[in-house]
Amino acid sequence: MNRQDRAKQFMPFAALKGYEEALRQREIKTEPRIVLGEDSAEELDIKLRSLTEGNPVRIRHYRRRCYVVTEGIVTGILCQKRTLRVGKEDIKYDDIVEMDLL
């Protein structure tokens, strides 16, 4: 066996499959979900009911363990799924914290 082939035998390998990914996920900061008060929830509900397709909006919502802001045009309102489509992104009503019509 030549030296290069022999050296390959002793190369490091990932003994715990997925361990590196788990560490990266742990490094991501998470934000706890905000529970809206009764007044804020009612105000948001009024805004959601007044929306129509084609309205430009700015929405602050919960996605992947943190809050993000999405701006765009409302391209769909899926009432049965309780989902709002902004551009190509679907946002659940329960994830929305703030919404402004632009």
Domain boundaries, the chain: 3-101
In terms of Cα–Cα distance, which of 50, 54, 63 is closest to 89? 63
**What predicted TM-score, i.e. pTM, was given to this entire model?**
0.69
pLDDT at 11 over 80: no
Show the tokens assigned to 13.
């390998």
How far CA 97 is from CA of 10, 11, 23, 62, 69, in Å, comes to 53, 50, 29, 8, 10
Report the top-level CATH class of 3-101: mainly beta
* 83-86 β-sheet, strand order: 89-92, 83-86, 66-78, 56-63, 96-101
Q: Which residue, among 23, 78, 87, 20, has the nearest Cα to 56 in the 3D structure? A: 87
Q: What tens digit of pLDDT does each residue of 12-30 get?
A: 666 677 888 877 777 777 7
The pLDDT score that the predictor gives to residue 77 is 93
pLDDT digits (tens, 9 = 90+) for 23-64: 777 777 778 898 999 999 999 999 999 999 999 999 999 998
Mean local confidence (pLDDT), 69-86: 94
